[in-house]
Amino acid sequence: MNNALWAPWRIDYIRTVADGGAGCFLCEAATMPQSDAPHLVLARNSRCILMMNKFPYVNGHLLVAPYQHAADLAQVPPDTRSAMMELVVIGQQLLSEAMNPQGFNIGLNIGRCAGAGVPGHVHMHIVPRWNGDVNFMSVTGNVRVIPQALTEAYKALLAAADKVLPAGQAHAAGLNLPTE
C-alpha cells in the first residue's frame, strides 16, 4: 500500500535475506571498529554499538546492538542492557541535534513475526518522528522513500556528536565512549 518505488538499500536487504547465509551484519559491524564509517557506526561503548539502519523505514532510523550475538535481552547480562540504554540516549540526542524530530519511537522487535529482520541478534530501534508522518505500524510495515542519503545523515549525526557530547568523546571515525 505504501511501498516505495525507490529505496535501493532495501533491495540490498532483500537480497541479503534471500541469500540466507550472509552472516550477521550486527556482528560484522560490532567486530570491525576500523570500518565504522562504511558500516555507519556512530558510537561504541564497551559492550554495544550505535549505528544507522542501512535498511531504514525513515531517515535517521538508528539501531543499538550488543557485541554479544544473543536473540533476546534475557540472554545478555544486566550491564549490557544498561550499556544499550546509554547508547539509546546518545542516539536520541544526536538525532535531536541533527534532525530536530518532534518525537521518537524506541523499542524492540523480538522474533520474526514481530518484525525483527535479524531475529538472532537483539537490537533496539530509535525511530525519529515528525508531526504529519505516518504512524509507527505503517512505518515498520512498509518500505518508504528516504529523502536524504544515508551517508549524508551519517555525517550530520557525527557532526552533532561534536556539539552534544563532551569534548574528546567524538571523533571523525565514530564515537568511542569511555569504557566501564
Q: Which residues bind Zn ion (CB under 5 A)?
A: 24, 26-27, 69, 121
Say which residues have a Cβ less than 8 Å from residue 35's Cβ, sequence separation at least 6. 29
Measured from the CB atom, is 125 or 144 closer to Zn ion? 125
d(CA 101, CA 88): 15
Strand pairing report for 41-44 and 175-176: parallel
Q: What cell was used for 80? A: 549490557
Map residue 74 onto helix, strand or coil.
Answer: helix
Measured from the CB atom, is 112 or 163 closer to Zn ion? 112
Q: How far is the CB of 156 from Zn ion (least distance, A)?
A: 27
Q: 132 exposed, middle or buried (CB, 10 Å; 0-12, 13-18, 19+)?
A: exposed
d(CA 76, CA 69): 9
Measured from the CB atom, is 121 or 144 closer to Zn ion? 121
Q: How far is the CB of 52 from Zn ion (least distance, A)?
A: 17
Measured from the CB atom, is 36 or 164 closer to Zn ion? 36
Place of cell 561503548: 45
Q: How far is the CB of 6 from Zn ion (least distance, A)?
A: 29
Q: How far is the CB of 26 from Zn ion (least distance, A)?
A: 4
